[in-house]
């Protein structure tokens, strides 16, 4: 899990550098898929929070295979992101990434192995998701 922690920390620091230099007007810039930068940041915050809540539950109650409908959830998050004021959005992104990474670091090895075996290591390896979307945002900016 150490490599996940290192990569999560690296991509979280990259995310924070982006947030520090982000002008409010840039949040409205659109990616080719139609999402604004604000939409992408809300998406990242949501999925970090989702992983955080799931990990905490599994630590208390044991692992249960999740059954998400990614497309439906992403569409809901996309519509919600437009309602969040810019400064609140940036704070939510920071808090979500930090809390999630802390929880990943505290995840017992047995649970981490269960997630890996079940093909759900994405709940621990948050860096991959962040990297994908940070590359999109940086490419646009």
**Which of 98-116 are b and which e, b meaning 16 or more Cβ less than 10 Å from the residue's Cβ?**
ebbbebbeebeeebbebbe
Does an H or E element contain 28, and which? none
Asked if the 2-140 domain carries CATH number 2.60.120.260, the reply is no
- What residues contact 46, with CB distance under 8 A and at least 6 apart? 73, 77, 96
Within 13 Å of residue 42, how many CA atoms lie on the same side as its CB? 24
What is the mean pLDDT of the segment spanning 36-59?
A: 94
Contact 90, 41 (CB under 8 A): yes
Can you give the pTM of this predicted structure? 0.89
pLDDT tens for 55-104 read: 999 999 999 988 878 888 888 888 888 899 999 999 999 999 999 999 99
Q: How far is CA 37 from CA 18, 29, 140, in A?
A: 11, 6, 9
d(CA 30, CA 64): 37
What pLDDT does 68 receive? 78
Q: Provide the pLDDT confidence category of residue 1 given band limits of 50, 70 and 90.
A: low
Are 29 and 141 in contact, with CB atoms under 8 Å apart? yes
In the predicted model, what is the mean pLDDT of residues 15-37? Answer: 94
pLDDT reading at 21 higher than 70: yes
Q: Summarize pLDDT for 98-141 with one digit per residue, the tens.
A: 999 999 999 999 999 999 999 999 999 999 999 999 999 999 99
Q: Where along the chain do its domains lie?
A: 2-140
pLDDT score, position 15: 97
Residue 93's nearest CA partner among 31, 18, 10, 35 is 18
């Amino acid at each position: 899990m150490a490599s996940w922690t290192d990569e999560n920390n690296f991509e979280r620091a990259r995310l924070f550098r982006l947030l520090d230099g982000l002008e409010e007007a840039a949040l409205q810039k659109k990616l080719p898929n139609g999402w604004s930068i604000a939409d992408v940041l809300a998406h990242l915050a949501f999925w970090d929070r989702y992983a955080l809540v799931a990990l905490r539950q599994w630590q208390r109650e044991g692992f249960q295979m999740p059954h998400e409908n990614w497309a439906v959830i992403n569409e809901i998050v996309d519509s919600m992101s437009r309602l969040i004021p810019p400064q609140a959005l940036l704070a939510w992104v920071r808090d979500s990434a930090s809390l999630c990474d802390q929880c990943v670091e505290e995840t017992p090895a047995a649970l981490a192995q269960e997630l890996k075996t079940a093909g759900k290591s994405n709940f621990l390896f948050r860096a991959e998701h962040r990297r994908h979307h940070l590359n999109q945002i940086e490419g646009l900016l």
